[in-house]
Structure 1
Amino acid sequence: MTICINLDVMMAKRKMRLNTLAKAIGITEANLSILKNGKAKAVRLSTLDKLCEVLECQPGDILEFEANHYDEHRLG
């Protein structure tokens, strides 16, 4: 199982730059970059809430579940 973070897609749709979004939600550009590049191990709900508010989207627009090929065979 994999959770994919589509933050870069939402930022592009809203024509929002990393530094602008970081300031708007109150986190560092470095931490937002980690999240945007899919390197984050966790996301605070308060951060997700602010992202959705500023980007005017739903959590499902940012987070997406993808089943791994291995998991499909194991469960099937």
Structure 2
Amino acid sequence: MHQTLHQPTVRTVANWRMADDDFWTACVQEHFAGYVERKDGRYYASSAFGDYLGEYATLDAAQRRVVQYVERLTAV
């Protein structure tokens, strides 16, 4: 009998803070992880390296994209 073991998924936790009007920054394990900026009612996500990660209709969606980017970088 063959049994496949699956490792549990570890979810990245980002701490978000509103650094200025229309500007949010994220830290993961005390390291700067990226930011979201609101312009003209849209939300623009960027990595800690300044990589453009996309334009989103909601703050939540833009923040999720930053976290996804960090998860991709830290995947083993």
Tell me if TM exceeds 0.5. no
Q: What is the TM-score of this pair, normalised by structure 1?
A: 0.29
Structure in which a larger fraction of residues adopt helix? 1
Q: Which has the higher strand share?
A: 2
TM-score of the pair, normalised by structure 2: 0.29
Higher relative contact order (CA 8 A, sep 6+): 1
Q: Which has the larger radius of gyration?
A: 2
